[in-house]
Amino acid sequence: MSTSEDPGKEAQDQGQHSRPTARASPLSEVFGPVVTGPYPLSPADPSRLGARTPVHSRDRCEGSGECVRVCPTEAITVEGRGEEVTFQLDYGRCIFCRRCVDVCPTGALTASPQFELATLQRDDLRLMHSRKREVAPSPPPSQLWEETRQRVSRLFGGSLAVREVDAGSCNGCEVEVSALTWPAYDSERLGIHFVASPRHADALLVTGPVTANMRLALEKTYRATPAPKFVLAVGACGISGGPFRGSPEILGGVGSVVPVQVFVPGCPPRPEALLYGFWLALGKLEQKLHRKGLEVPAGASRGGRPSSGETPKSGPEHGSTDAP
Amino acid sequence: MISPPTSVPPTTAEPTVEERDERKWVQAHSTTPPTREGTRGVWKVEVPPSQWHISQIQLSQLLHHRLSTLWAEIVPAGTTRLHGLWLGKGPCAGVLVSTELLEGEARVTTLLPHVPSALYFEREVREMFGVEFAEAPDTRPLLLHLSHPAPPFRAPASPNPQDPVSYTFLPTEGEGLYEIPVGPVHAGIIEPGQFRFQVLGEQILNLEVRLGFTHKGTERLFENRTPAQGLPLAESVSGDSSVAGAMAYLEAVEPVLGIRPSEGTQRARGLLLEAERVAFLLGDVSGISMDVGYAAGAAQANVLRQEAYSWLESLTGSRLGRSTLSVGGLYRPLPARALEGLSLRARALSDATRELLEHLDERSSVVDRIHDTGQISREVARNLALVGPVARASGIDGDVRRDRPYGPYREVDVRVALRSAGDVEARLQVKGAEILEACRLVEKFLDGGALDVPRSPETSDPLASGEGMGIVEAPRGELVVAVRLGKDSRVLRVHFRDPSYLNWPAIEYAVRGNIVPDFPLCNKSLNLSYSGFDR
Ligand code: SF4
Ligand code: SF4
């Protein structure tokens, strides 16, 4: 059994555990080739992504309302029928279950692998489709928005230290957040790394619906993070309370406790979706090699700037809440 | 001669001594004719409140059953029903002890100290339902950190953020002793909880865990939903193993609704359950490797883990297999493209995992850290009624898939890995072996026949009501879900007993006498669910 290339090490092993050691295989035999995906520096291959995101076609919607009845999170509202229909879908509440897609009688709802859904404003996650009247064109981003975004980009563009806070998640989001550190995503290649203390952090990534029991801890963690800082609310829970909306034990989203600058929908958001959220916050979308990777489902135009919806009231420091 | 209860299924094999003792005990103790309806073959025994503790202490001490779960529910007119599920070894059916407490008389005697694993259950039932456990040694709140106007299951209301409940960690005194408070926000990307260490020098004398931070009132959210509407919640009780959560919930509701999923459906579910187990347990291999400071091993485990998640993604559209299992079937059939070549990929992943495990076993820097670390003796494991890979690493032989086969596991033989050392190394070995076994089961389910899944699940009786129970082997171990459906098939009560609910106390034992820097390693090797505990 003893064919170790390093007899010294083996002797040590034997001494401590009196167990036989097999040969020490060189790492190259065990570890394979580079597995890190290209995203976000080049597009993700949509054929390898699960199609989970409900996208809506304005032209096909007849307003049956079947989707409203099956949606477990009240993410959809439909008013009127036929030519008069107004359809709204809130990606901040959606858990990407595709029940609405399964029941849509006219095929207006389909499932897409689209994951670049993160926005800088809560309102931008609300898709509104109306046959009759066109949705108002998105107002240009306010001056304050642009300035802050440039500042974030200038300050943190090189490297970003992130502290993750689980404010009552189901641990599904944590699987995907920690996947950023796996070789497949390796967020450190982009300068995004996770730190052990809020005092070392530039940004807080917060998951979960913020339980009553985590409120104080989240507030304290926010205060312990030195300015300048920004907050990402991650997952349906972090944005709106997700599947737990309506429980008296939760506050219903990170924005109800601390100001949020980036909203990353999903249940959980896949790692690429999280990378997109960071990229958006860092103002790096311009650097992306691809501009038209996948279909953009929400009515809003994107490309790293806040678009449709209301003009932000107080710029990026204005957190959004989603009262249950 | 006592005639046997009518609902007993005919037994083919000669009953064992344990089975006969169990049956005798059941017949002697129930105030109503014992039945096995709606409880997956478990005997139902109704006792008066005065017998609640005595009967269960007997089950523990005479029959050597273990407490699997204990929950309460409110039935009309303010009456509280208490249930304790006791499961035995081998072919024993198990016993569900129930009692009814009239309003204003919500009081029984504690099972402690005779049944140590009853502690958390009793604390939870006390704070959530206002049931008093006379002579209870510890009445501190468990999941609630803020005061509520009334026990939440009696009168739902928001907690008062200005009024925290009083909670004191058990004090320790002595010269040179110091405390390390940790949490609730931890250093890693993990769930929140509070740990209080009492330390002498480098040695941990005592650890106390305080949980409840992720309490979301999930069980109450089920109320009044249809069984199908409950699924997203069932998947988010412990959301890192959502397929198992959905399966346990469906095992409980489907029989009440009179639904029997087809064999093809069950095979498809089995495939997803085992794929999830592979992905989940590889996370533990990665975590252990990381916490001994061997980043290369962790990276490789995560490469393999990504592969397992990509199976789930191509099969279900969701990397975590979310929104896939439906009442009676699957929401959508597994795509043929995803099934193609999956057998070979399972074989390859199994080989690569074996290679990684051997590689870790060859590294003295790894073995030195995990050998003898975080020991949980067989005795402690039995007293705490631990479940899952953690129990199997301490020599407790049990796996629901083999012992009480359900759904897909009626078709396959599950080989159970067992170790006796009870240290981190043993847990790594058990979990490693379970990954290989899960890969083998993936192949089995793929080869077992068609994975046909009716797109629109069987229609069920919309008026079905009654109680049901699901007992499954989640990646963390035995998961028990109890449900009661009302007249219109809507959910009246759901109780989730996550495997970690039983396993959490194990960490307090595992770290005793270990050095503080080994705590994360012990923790990772146990991989306890916070959300599953807190709900
Ligand atoms: S996919 Fe989203 S919008 Fe559609 S039913 Fe599910 S939660 Fe509702
Ligand atoms: S968003 Fe979904 S995955 Fe994330 S914590 Fe909430 S329920 Fe879990």
DSSP A137-195: PPPPPPHHHHHHHHHHHHHHSS-EEEEEEESS--SHHHHHHHHTTSTTT-GGGGTEEE-
With 0.80 as the threshold, say if the pTM is over it.
Answer: yes
Please give the number of the atom of ligand 2 that sits closest to the Cα of A266.
Answer: 1
How far, in Å, are B38, B61, B382, B495 from residue B96 at the CA level?
11, 16, 20, 14
Q: Are residues A156 and A282 in the same domain?
A: yes
* Winning range, highest mean pLDDT, from A310-314, B18-22, B283-287: B283-287
- Is A196 an interface residue toward B (CB < 8 Å)? yes
Q: Are residues A109 and A255 in the same domain?
A: no
Q: Hunting for tokens 């107002």 — which residue is that?
A: A139
Cβ contacts of B302 on chain A, cutoff 8 Å: 179, 181-184
Task: Give A139→chain B minimum CA distance, Å.
Answer: 35
Q: Tens digit of pLDDT for each residue in B117-170?
A: 999 999 999 999 999 999 999 999 999 999 999 999 988 888 998 899 989 888
State yes or no: ipTM above 0.85: yes
Q: How far is the CA of A72 from the centre of ligand 1 (A)?
A: 7
What is the residue with the minimal CA distance to atom 4 of ligand 1? A100
Given a cut of 80, is residue A8 above it in pLDDT?
no
Q: State which residues form the domain around A109.
A: 46-114
Q: Is residue A34 part of a domain?
A: no
Q: How far is the CA of B399 from the centre of ligand 2 (A)?
A: 29
Domains observed in chain B: 17-134 (3.30.460.80), 218-534 (1.10.645.10)
A68 within ligand 2 shell (Cβ under 6 A): no
Q: Are residues A236 and A284 in the same domain?
A: yes
CATH code, domain with A62: 3.30.70.20
Helix, strand, coil % over all residues of chain B, rounded to 5: 40, 20, 40
A172–B240 C-beta distance less than 8 A:
yes
Question: What is chain A's mean pLDDT, rounded?
Answer: 77
A172–B239 C-beta distance less than 8 A:
yes
Given a cut of 60, is residue A175 above it in pLDDT?
yes
How far, in Å, are B24, B112, B203, B335, B476 from residue B374 at the CA level?
41, 26, 12, 43, 18
- Is A52 an interface residue toward B (CB < 8 Å)? yes
In sequence order, what are the residues at sequence separation of 6 or more whose Cβ sits closer than 8 angstroms to the Cβ of residue A28? none
Tokens of B148: 């509520």
8 Å CB contact between A300 and A136: no
Q: Are residues A205 and A311 in the same domain?
A: yes
Q: Are residues A287 and A170 in the same domain?
A: yes
Q: Tens digit of pLDDT for each residue in B180-229?
A: 999 899 888 999 999 999 999 889 999 999 999 999 999 999 999 999 99
What is the residue with the minimal CA distance to atom 8 of ligand 1? A71
8 Å CB contact between A19 and A40: no
Given a cut of 90, is residue A15 above it in pLDDT?
no
In sequence order, what are the residues at sequence separation of 6 or more whose Cβ sits closer than 8 angstroms to the Cβ of residue B183? B192, B193, B194, B195, B213
Domains in chain A: how many in total? 2
Residue A143's pLDDT is: 61
Q: Are residues A82 and A153 in the same domain?
A: no
8 Å CB contact between B234 and B247: no
From B190, B236, B241, B322, the mutation candidate for ligand 2 (largest count of ligand atoms within 8 A of CB) is: B236
Sign of CA dihedral B519, B525, B531, B535: negative
Q: Is residue A269 part of a domain?
A: yes
B237–A171 C-beta distance less than 8 A:
no
8 Å CB contact between B145 and B170: no
- Is B529 an interface residue toward A (CB < 8 Å)? yes
Q: Are residues A166 and A298 in the same domain?
A: yes
Comparing A125-134, B331-340, B396-405, the range with the smallest average pLDDT is A125-134
- Least distant ligand from the CA of A67: 1
How far, in Å, are A236, B149, B418 from residue A232 at the CA level?
12, 34, 43
Q: Tens digit of pLDDT for each residue in A199-226?
A: 999 999 999 999 999 999 999 999 999 9
φ, ψ of residue B137 to 5 degrees: the values are -80, -20
A150 backbone φψ class: left, alpha, beta (φ>0; ψ -120 to 50): alpha
Q: Are residues A174 and A279 in the same domain?
A: yes
Q: Tens digit of pLDDT for each residue in B292-319?
A: 999 999 999 999 999 999 999 999 999 9
- Is A189 an interface residue toward B (CB < 8 Å)? no
Q: Are residues A186 and A58 in the same domain?
A: no
Given a cut of 70, is residue A321 above it in pLDDT?
no
CA distance A160 to A190: 9
A205 within ligand 2 shell (Cβ under 6 A): no
Tokens of B236: 């988010």
Residue of B nearest to A29 (CA): B355
A211 within ligand 2 shell (Cβ under 6 A): no
CA distance B207 to B180: 9
Q: Are residues A104 and A154 in the same domain?
A: no
Q: Is residue A265 part of a domain?
A: yes
Strand ranges in B119-257 using DSSP code E only, listed in sequence order: 132-134, 146-147, 160-164, 177-182, 194-200, 203-210
Q: How far is the CA of A74 from the centre of ligand 1 (A)?
A: 8
Longest CA–CA separation in chain B, Å:
68
Residue B71's pLDDT is: 97
Given a cut of 80, is residue B508 above it in pLDDT?
yes
Q: Which of A102, A111, A170 shows the shortest C-beta gap to B237? A: A170
> Final residue of a domain: which of A98, A114, A130?
A114
Q: Is residue A174 part of a domain?
A: yes
Q: Is residue A24 part of a domain?
A: no
Q: Is residue A126 part of a domain?
A: no
Residue B174's pLDDT is: 86
Cβ contacts of A197 on chain B, cutoff 8 Å: 187
Give the SS3 label for residue B451: coil
A243 within ligand 2 shell (Cβ under 6 A): yes
Given a cut of 70, is residue A285 above it in pLDDT?
no
Q: How far is the CA of A143 from the centre of ligand 2 (A)?
A: 34
Bridge-based pairing of strands B491-497 and B477-485 is: antiparallel
> Final residue of a domain: which of A114, A131, A156?
A114
> Final residue of a domain: which of A96, A114, A132?
A114
Tokens of B164: 């925290």
B232–A97 C-beta distance less than 8 A:
yes
Tokens of B219: 């069980």
Please give the number of the atom of ligand 2 that sits closest to the Cα of A176.
Answer: 3
Task: Give A287→chain B minimum CA distance, Å.
Answer: 27
Band the pLDDT of A7: cuts 50, 70, 90: very low
CA distance B289 to B297: 6
Cβ contacts of A39 on chain B, cutoff 8 Å: none
Q: How far is the CA of A267 from the centre of ligand 2 (A)?
A: 5
Which string of DSSP letters, residue by residue, matches B63-109?
S--EEEEEEEEEETTTEEEEEEEEE-STT---EEEEEEE-TT--EEE
Residue B461's pLDDT is: 67
CATH code, domain with A267: 3.40.50.12280
A207 within ligand 2 shell (Cβ under 6 A): yes
A76 within ligand 1 shell (Cβ under 6 A): yes
Residue A18's pLDDT is: 40
Q: Which of residues 55-74 of A touch B (CB under 8 A)?
A: 72-73
CA distance A38 to A32: 17
A212–B161 C-beta distance less than 8 A:
yes
A273 within ligand 2 shell (Cβ under 6 A): no
A96 within ligand 1 shell (Cβ under 6 A): yes
Return the higher-pLDDT residue of A13 and B57.
B57
Q: Are residues A163 and A280 in the same domain?
A: yes
Please give the number of the atom of ligand 2 that sits closest to the Cα of A268.
Answer: 3
Closest CA to A30 of B291, B296, B515, B19: B296
Given a cut of 60, is residue A293 above it in pLDDT?
no
Q: Is residue A87 part of a domain?
A: yes
Q: Are residues A165 and A268 in the same domain?
A: yes
Q: Which of residues 346-385 of B touch A (CB under 8 A)?
A: 355-356, 358-359, 361-364, 367-368, 371
CA distance A9 to A2: 12
Residue A208, beta-bridge partner list: none
Q: Hunting for tokens 């959980």 — which residue is that?
A: A268
Residue A147's pLDDT is: 65
- Is A115 an interface residue toward B (CB < 8 Å)? no
User: CA torsion angle for B515, B520, B525, B529 (degrees, to 10)?
Assistant: 130
Bridge-based pairing of strands A86-90 and A126-130 is: antiparallel
